[in-house]
């Protein structure tokens, strides 16, 4: 079903509204196993974010603030505010933006392997990254000036799988991976739960700890033995228990 342009699936009809936001390159189904555990106690709305699944993409080069503003328009029509947003990876970025930009719609946010802060890198990594960016610019300039095909070769050799598969979303992907939500996180005023797998190499626990230091009301939990992806499947029951405890504590505030 679509809601003003955003495809979504609803699980349950009673209780606090939970809004589920998937990671980059995924769609709502990636969160369905975890969300289904709340079917009998909450109203769950799982969205395909723009450019993924069945939801049309936003304008070229849209950033997470654009995703948040578009989601806010959806939620204004949905009703049931304020909502609890649960975002995995890229969905965590959008959740942070939502909480900062549209606080009247957000009761709390839960980030599972949430991205959005620049990772701490070694000097050697930074030097290599700068060299690769320079090579990319030179390849692009050569293609433009003399009609070579160096840029395509560069992408195939050095581009990440997400970048290669991004297609029309490449401008958005580049903008998103280079953003830093540190200042945005400081302006979040709602309670926040930060759940990170100990074996996550995509969004390692140190990102969650830094979010905890930036967001005024935040709780960080590291779940042992899970990575960026299996925390949603094999770790679903652990996540459910943490989220329910967090929501129970919200009732006491």
CATH number, residue 101: 3.40.50.1820
> Could you tell me the pLDDT band of residue 13, with boundaries at 50, 70 and 90?
confident
- 102 token code pair: 């549209």
Helix, strand, coil shares of the chain, percent, nearest 5, are 45, 15, 35
The reported pLDDT for the residue numbered 23 is 97
Q: How far apart are CA 83 and CA 60, in angstroms?
A: 28
Please tell me whether residues 92 and 208 are part of one structural domain.
Answer: yes
Q: How far apart are CA 86 and CA 191, in angstroms?
A: 12
Please tell me whether residues 110 and 226 are part of one structural domain.
Answer: yes
Please tell me whether residues 49 and 148 are part of one structural domain.
Answer: no
Please tell me whether residues 210 and 106 are part of one structural domain.
Answer: yes
Which residues neighbour 202 within 8 Å (Cβ) at sequence distance 6 or greater?
89, 113, 115, 227, 228
Residue 158 has pLDDT above 60, yes or no: no
> Could you tell me the pLDDT band of residue 228, with boundaries at 50, 70 and 90?
very high
Q: How far is CA 195 from the centre of its chain?
A: 13
Average pLDDT, the chain: 87
Please tell me whether residues 189 and 149 are part of one structural domain.
Answer: no
> Could you tell me the pLDDT band of residue 118, with boundaries at 50, 70 and 90?
confident
**CB 33 within 8 Å of CB 27:** no
Q: Return the higher-pLDDT residue of 219 and 127.
A: 219
Please tell me whether residues 159 and 185 are part of one structural domain.
Answer: no
- 115 token code pair: 């991205």
Mean pLDDT of 151-179: 71
Domain count, the chain: 2
Count Cβ atoms below 10 Å from residue 252 Cβ, excluding itself: 5
Does 174 fall in a domain? no
Count Cβ atoms below 10 Å from residue 133 Cβ, excluding itself: 11
Please tell me whether residues 42 and 161 are part of one structural domain.
Answer: no
Does 241 fall in a domain? yes
Please tell me whether residues 78 and 153 are part of one structural domain.
Answer: no
Q: How far apart are CA 147 and CA 159, in angstroms?
A: 21
The reported pLDDT for the residue numbered 143 is 62
| Boundaries of domain holding 144 | 123-167
Question: In this structure, is the dihedral angle defined by the CA atoms of residues 60, 121, 86 and 97, taken in order, positive or negative?
Answer: negative
Please tell me whether residues 103 and 153 are part of one structural domain.
Answer: no
* Total residue length of the chain: 253
Task: Kindly tell me the burial class for residue 187, based on how many C-beta atoms sit within 10 Å of its own C-beta (0-12, 13-18, 19 or more).
Answer: middle
Count Cβ atoms below 10 Å from residue 120 Cβ, excluding itself: 10
């Amino acid at each position: 079903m679509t809601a003003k342009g955003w495809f979504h699936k609803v699980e349950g009809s009673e209780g606090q509204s939970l809004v589920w936001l998937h990671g980059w390159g995924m769609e709502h189904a990636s969160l369905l196993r975890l969300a289904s555990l709340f079917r009998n106690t909450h109203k769950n709305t799982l969205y395909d974010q723009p450019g993924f699944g069945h939801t049309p993409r936003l304008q070229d080069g849209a950033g997470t603030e654009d995703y948040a503003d578009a989601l806010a328009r959806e939620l204004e029509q949905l009703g049931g505010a304020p909502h609890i947003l649960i975002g995995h990876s890229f969905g965590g970025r959008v959740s942070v933006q939502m909480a900062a930009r549209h606080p009247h719609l957000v009761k709390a946010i839960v980030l599972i392997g949430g991205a959005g802060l620049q990772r701490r890198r070694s000097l050697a990594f930074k030097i290599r990254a700068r060299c690769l960016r320079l090579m990319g610019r030179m390849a692009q300039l050569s293609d433009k000036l003399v009609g070579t095909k160096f840029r395509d070769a560069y992408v195939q050799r050095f581009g990440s799988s997400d970048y290669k598969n991004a297609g029309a979303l490449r401008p958005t992907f580049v903008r998103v991976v280079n953003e830093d939500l540190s200042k945005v996180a400081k302006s979040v005023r709602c309670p926040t739960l930060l759940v990170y797998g100990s074996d996550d190499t995509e969004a390692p626990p140190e990102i969650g700890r830094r979010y905890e230091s930036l967001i005024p009301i935040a709780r960080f939990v590291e779940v042992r033995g899970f990575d960026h992806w299996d925390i949603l499947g094999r770790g679903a029951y652990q996540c459910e228990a943490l989220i329910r405890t967090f929501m129970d504590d919200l009732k006491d505030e």
